[in-house]
């Protein structure tokens, strides 16, 4: 029986290590956003079991959830874009709001429902500016295809514009000249 060469074994172990390390880096990338918040009435009491529907305005894809025991809800894994959020519960007026979900961002919308007939609809429109994420202290923004076409770039590669965002770094070069 012939033993394997040490050189082959070293390369096999190095390849396995590189693939394992690379998988952790890939898993750390976030391509989806989240909408979360709480549902309460005007007096501040939680509304349990309220139906929360997030509908992507561009694709009309809907995601539905219900508020929990503390009135909280969370809708993870949403594609970046504008969403119409509808919060409804029996004996309360339906609340509609437009929110923007960004890449890796957590958009918070705390809904205050007013007592009323279920045919009453309260519509809230949020501004579409860069917002500070109060849960993870991150800034995020969407760049649409029109903006990519209008920005000066030699390659028209949208990833070239990532550095324009306020929270992007090329790495730490302070420790012995090595980048992280």
What pLDDT was estimated at residue 126?
59
- CB atoms under 10 Å from CB of 119, counted, come to 7
3-state secondary structure 58-91: CCCCEEEEECCCCCEEEEEEECCEEEEEEEECCC
Closest of 128, 3, 118, 125 to residue 51, by C-alpha: 118
What pLDDT was estimated at residue 163?
67
pLDDT along the chain (180 residues), means of 10: 62 70 55 91 92 94 94 93 93 91 88 75 60 63 73 71 65 57
Task: Tell me the domain boundaries of the chain.
Answer: 33-132
What pLDDT was estimated at residue 31?
79
Tokens of 22: 């690379």
Cα angle value 139/65/102 (rounded, 5°): 15
Q: How far apart are CA 155 and CA 11, in angstroms?
A: 36
Is domain 33-132 classified as CATH 3.30.70.2190?
no
Question: pTM to 2 decimals?
Answer: 0.56
Q: How far apart are CA 36 and CA 70, in angstroms?
A: 13
What pLDDT was estimated at residue 115?
85
What pLDDT was estimated at residue 157?
72
């Amino acid at each position: 029986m012939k033993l394997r060469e040490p050189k082959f074994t070293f390369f096999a172990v190095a390849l396995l290590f590189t693939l394992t390390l690379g998988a952790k880096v890939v898993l750390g990338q976030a391509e989806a956003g989240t909408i979360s918040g709480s549902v309460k009435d005007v007096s501040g009491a939680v509304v349990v079991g309220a139906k929360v529907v997030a509908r992507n305005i561009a694709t009309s894809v809907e995601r539905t959830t219900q508020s929990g025991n503390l009135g909280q809800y969370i809708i993870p894994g949403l594609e970046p874009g504008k969403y119409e959020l509808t919060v409804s519960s029996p004996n309360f007026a339906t609340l509609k709001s437009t929110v923007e979900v960004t890449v890796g961002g957590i958009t918070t919308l705390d809904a205050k429902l007013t007592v009323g007939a279920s045919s009453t609809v309260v519509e809230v429109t949020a501004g579409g500016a860069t917002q500070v994420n109060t849960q993870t202290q991150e800034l995020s923004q969407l760049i649409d295809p029109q903006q990519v076409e209008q920005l000066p770039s030699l390659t028209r590669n949208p990833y070239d514009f990532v550095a324009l965002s306020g929270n992007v770094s090329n790495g730490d070069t302070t420790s012995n000249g090595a980048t992280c």
